[in-house]
């Protein structure tokens, strides 16, 4: 088990290096003249050269990459290019924390709910209930989150006035208020995952139900509840956790959209704002951090799958 | 014997290969004979399989036409395609400004109301499909093309080539698609072409994985072996022998990607990385009009519902295809 985790962590290193080269290439090499990009078309060539020298952009590429990557590893993430008084590292990390609260809140509710729906559908395979659950959850999943978000915003915040229109309470509000404000932004994120998790849980259930050991369990007289919770649910979880891991990328993309829609100060909104304002240091740092979080999330999903499935755990 | 061989002609590829291997001429002749024999057999078999394939295709099409899921999806998508092309002839102009009647509620004159510049929301909603319906299919085709080539090469050659390609693919998948596209579009600028290429490129890794696993399932089959034995070049075997046999998974993958491409294109334009105003694009409209959500919800709700129907339509097609193909 530990070897499995260790090997996967080691595998992350080359992937991360290549991903950082990708970000570096996109951000520093493709736009061509860095100084010209920052200063715009009206600056004189002298000013551009001076800035390039100051930024070290006149050095060879591999040196620039080494300096850039070294700064990232040692935590020197620099200042925002738009507002020099804003330091990148604390800003990005605080935003990441906010996003994790939002995503965690959504996942804590949606995972058990959609697994239940999926298992329920799987147990009554091909019934009207099964078709209903499958079609409605999948429709919710495929609709872009800003569409469901804006409809929910209209119904619950504007029309019924049950919930606030923004995702973050004003400063000084009590802590539990945060969750009240998080309800509305979390729902579109839940929709995003609902269909896939429910579908995998359904497929898992259908497959497990066909297994001989379920027949054995039923025939030896185990109560239905024991069969479902002890055997079906446990084994149906394996494909489900895998799909949760593979959907984390879309969840992160969803965070960018939802945080923009609900004006929530998370890393997704930070990234979008930095990209629109051409704030390179902020953009690079948040993209790299998101890449790390993404890989860790996939790793955690793999570990949970291994824990649930002895065959992988022992073989690892 | 000699005449028999000349009808099929000597196989230059095979002879070249034989020379390379340093095989003796007798051996070479034997192999050429075997290849020629295989060819006649294949020709007869081809005629039979062609008939069989046509029958199967007809059966599939009939099954699709009878699938309510698939047909509902097709009707929805065709409706939006029709609107994207012809809506300007039916509705009012999507860009005509009428400042006197801004943010007017739905009425007989404007069935869906007007937006903050007095533009007709019905006209804008109907024309809003245009950008998404240009971006998504083209990006999907690009992804299928690139992913198809990469997947074929990786799955066909296996070994070192496969290993290197798949590791690079893993790296590309290490960044979430929306995040990478934001990065690319903010640095390279936006525009239809660049959005199409970006989405196409970012969908390529997933497509190539699917194609690769389909190729791996086929490459050990007899017909591939036969093609190799009669000395066909690798590109020919990949394109003319394997590819026709993996069209079904590729079509299914294509419709899945099309759904994601609509999703991604709409999301990017909502985030501000698509086309600028006055484009009636749905994502852009929802992003710019949402500040009027409290006083004029119709400006946002109609484009939102329109986008939802299109996305569900594409996914119904995917679902229907998958169901029919897996039978």
pLDDT digits (tens, 9 = 90+) for A50-88: 877 777 666 777 787 888 788 888 877 777 777 777 788
Contact B312 A142 (CB under 8 A): yes
Q: Could you give the CA distance from residue A156 to residue A190 in angstroms, rounded to a whole number?
A: 16
Q: CA of A224, closest CA in chain B: separation in Å?
A: 31
Q: pTM of the prediction?
A: 0.80
- pLDDT at residue number A190: 85
Contact B286 A146 (CB under 8 A): yes
Q: Could you give the CA distance from residue B221 to residue B82 in angstroms, rounded to a whole number?
A: 44
- pLDDT at residue number B171: 75
Q: Which residue of A has its CA nearest to B266?
A: A144
Q: Could you give the CA distance from residue B300 to residue B206 in angstroms, rounded to a whole number?
A: 33
- pLDDT at residue number A185: 87
- pLDDT at residue number B38: 55
Taking CB atoms within 8 Å and a gap of at least 24, the contacts of A15-20 are: A15/A295, A15/B170, A15/B171, A15/B174, A16/A291, A16/A292, A16/A295, A16/B174, A17/A69, A18/B168, A18/B171, A18/B174, A19/A288, A19/A291, A19/B171, A19/B174, A19/B175, A20/A69, A20/A72, A20/A288, A20/A291
- pLDDT at residue number B9: 37
Mean pLDDT for the stretch of residues A300-316: 70
Mean pLDDT for the stretch of residues A166-191: 80
Cβ neighbours of B176 in A, within 8 Å:
248-250, 252-253, 290, 294
Q: Nearest by CB to A15, which of B174, B290, B297?
A: B174
B52 three-state secondary structure: helix
Contact B319 A291 (CB under 8 A): no
Q: Apex CA B259: angle with CA B164 and CA A267, to 5°?
A: 70
Between B205 and A46, the higher pLDDT residue: B205
Q: Report how many Cβ contacts below 8 Å link chain A to chain B.
A: 135
Q: Could you give the CA distance from residue B35 to residue B254 in angstroms, rounded to a whole number?
A: 36
- pLDDT at residue number B142: 95
Cβ neighbours of B259 in A, within 8 Å:
142
Q: Nearest by CB to A150, which of B186, B300, B319?
A: B300
Contact A144 B259 (CB under 8 A): no
For CA atoms A112, A131, A134, A203, the dihedral sign is positive
Mean pLDDT for the stretch of residues A12-24: 80
Interface test with B, best of A253, A262, A280 (most B CBs within 10 A): A253
Contact B186 A275 (CB under 8 A): yes
List phi, psi (to 5°) of A165.
-85, -15
**Cis previous bond, A19, omega within 30:** no
DSSP A157: I
Average pLDDT over chain A, rounded to an integer: 80
In Å, the largest CA–CA distance within chain B is 92
Scan for tokens 């147990």, then name that residue: A123
Contact B177 A257 (CB under 8 A): no
Q: Which residue of B has its CA nearest to A28?
A: B187
Q: Nearest by CB to B171, which of A18, A26, A153?
A: A18
Report yes or no: B312 at the A interface, CB cutoff 8 Å.
yes
Residue A235 has pLDDT above 90, yes or no: no
pLDDT band at A165 (very low <50, low <70, confident <90, very high): confident
Interface test with A, best of B76, B184, B186 (most A CBs within 10 A): B186
- Note the pLDDT tens digit of each residue in A120-147: 888 887 788 888 888 888 888 888 888 8
Whole-number percent of chain A with pLDDT over 70? 92
Q: Which residue of A has its CA nearest to B172?
A: A19
Interface test with B, best of A27, A31, A36, A147 (most B CBs within 10 A): A147
Interface predicted TM-score (ipTM) over 0.90: no
For CA atoms B146, B165, A65, A255, the dihedral sign is positive
- pLDDT at residue number A310: 67
Within 8 A by CB and 6+ apart from B74, the residues are B313, B317
- pLDDT at residue number B22: 39
- pLDDT at residue number A300: 83
Cβ neighbours of A160 in B, within 8 Å:
none
Q: Which of A13-17, A266-270, B111-115, B305-309 has the lowest mean pLDDT?
A: B111-115
Residue ranges of chain B with pLDDT lower than 50? 1-25, 27-28
Cβ neighbours of A276 in B, within 8 Å:
186, 272-273
Cβ neighbours of A249 in B, within 8 Å:
173, 176-177
Q: CA of A8, closest CA in chain B: separation in Å?
A: 13
- pLDDT at residue number B21: 39
Q: CA of B313, closest CA in chain A: separation in Å?
A: 10
The answer to whether domain B76-326 has CATH 3.30.465.10 is no
Q: CA of A189, closest CA in chain B: separation in Å?
A: 14
List phi, psi (to 5°) of A251.
-65, -40
- pLDDT at residue number B145: 94
Cβ neighbours of B319 in A, within 8 Å:
138
Rg of chain B over all Cα atoms, to the nearest angstrom: 27
Cβ neighbours of A295 in B, within 8 Å:
174
Contact B179 A256 (CB under 8 A): yes
- pLDDT at residue number B47: 65
Report yes or no: B182 at the A interface, CB cutoff 8 Å.
yes
């Amino acid at each position: 088990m530990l070897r499995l985790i260790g090997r996967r962590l080691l595998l992350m290193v080359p992937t991360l290096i290549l991903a950082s080269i990708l970000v570096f290439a996109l951000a520093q090499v493709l736009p061509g003249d860095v100084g010209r990009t920052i200063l715009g078309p009206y600056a004189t060539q002298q000013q551009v050269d001076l800035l390039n020298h100051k930024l070290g952009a006149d050095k060879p590429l591999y040196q620039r990459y080494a300096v850039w990557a070294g700064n990232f590893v040692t935590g020197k993430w620099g200042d925002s290019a738009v507002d020099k008084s804003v330091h990148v590292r604390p800003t990005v990390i605080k935003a990441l924390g906010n996003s994790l609260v939002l995503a965690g809140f959504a996942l804590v509710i949606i995972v058990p709910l959609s697994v239940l729906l999926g298992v329920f559908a799987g147990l009554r395979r091909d019934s009207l209930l099964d078709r209903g659950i499958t079609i409605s959850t999948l429709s919710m999943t495929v609709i872009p989150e800003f569409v469901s978000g804006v409809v929910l915003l209209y119904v619950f915040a504007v029309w019924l006035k049950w919930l606030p229109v923004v995702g973050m309470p004003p400063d000084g509000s009590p802590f539990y208020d945060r969750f009240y404000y998080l309800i509305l932004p979390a729902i579109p994120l839940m929709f995003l995952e609902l269909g896939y998790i429910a579908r995998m849980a359904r497929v898992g259930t259908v497959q497990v139900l066909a297994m001989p050991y379920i027949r054995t369990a039923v025939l030896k007289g185990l109560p239905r509840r024991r069969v479902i919770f002890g055997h079906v649910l446990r084994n149906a979880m394996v494909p489900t956790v895998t799909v949760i891991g593979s959907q984390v990328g879309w969840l992160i993309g969803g965070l960018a959209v939802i945080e923009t829609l609900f004006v929530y100060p998370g890393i997704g909104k930070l990234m979008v704002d930095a990209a629109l304002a051409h704030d390179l240091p902020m953009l690079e740092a948040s993209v790299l951090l998101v890449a790390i979080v993404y890989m860790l999330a996939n790793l955690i999903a793999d570990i949970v799958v291994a824990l649930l499935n002895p065959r992988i755990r022992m073989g690892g | 014997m000699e005449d028999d061989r000349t009808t099929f002609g000597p196989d230059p590829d095979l002879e070249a290969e034989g020379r390379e291997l340093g095989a003796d001429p007798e051996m070479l002749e034997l192999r050429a004979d075997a290849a020629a024999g295989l060819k006649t057999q294949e020709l007869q078999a081809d005629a039979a399989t062609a008939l069989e394939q046509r029958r199967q295709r007809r059966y599939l099409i009939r099954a699709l036409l009878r699938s309510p899921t698939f047909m509902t999806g097709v009707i929805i998508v065709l409706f939006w395609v029709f609107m994207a092309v012809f809506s300007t002839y039916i509705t009012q102009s999507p860009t005509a400004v009428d400042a006197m009647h801004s943010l007017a509620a739905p009425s007989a004159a404007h069935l869906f109301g007007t937006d903050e510049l007095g533009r007709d929301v019905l006209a804008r909603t109907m024309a809003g499909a245009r950008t998404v319906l240009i971006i998504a299919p083209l990006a999907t085709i690009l992804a299928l093309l690139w992913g198809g080539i990469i997947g074929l090469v990786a799955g066909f050659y296996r070994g070192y080539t496969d290993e290197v390609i798949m590791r690079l693919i893993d790296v590309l998948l290490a960044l979430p698609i929306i995040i990478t596209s934001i990065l690319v579009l903010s640095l390279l600028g936006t525009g239809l072409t660049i959005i199409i290429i970006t989405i196409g490129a970012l969908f390529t890794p997933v497509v190539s994985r699917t194609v690769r696993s389909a190729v791996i399932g086929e490459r050990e089959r007899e017909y591939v072996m036969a093609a190799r034995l009669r000395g066909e070049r690798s590109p020919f075997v990949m394109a003319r022998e394997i590819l026709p046999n993996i069209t079904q998974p590729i079509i299914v993958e294509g419709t899945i990607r099309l759904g994601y491409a609509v999703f991604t294109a709409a999301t990017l334009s909502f985030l501000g990385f698509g086309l600028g105003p006055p484009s009636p694009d749905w994502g852009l409209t929802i992003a710019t009009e949402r500040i009027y959500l409290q006083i004029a919800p119709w400006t946002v709700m109609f484009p939102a519902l329109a986008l939802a129907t299109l996305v569900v339509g594409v996914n119904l097609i995917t679902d229907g295809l998958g169901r029919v193909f897996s039978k």
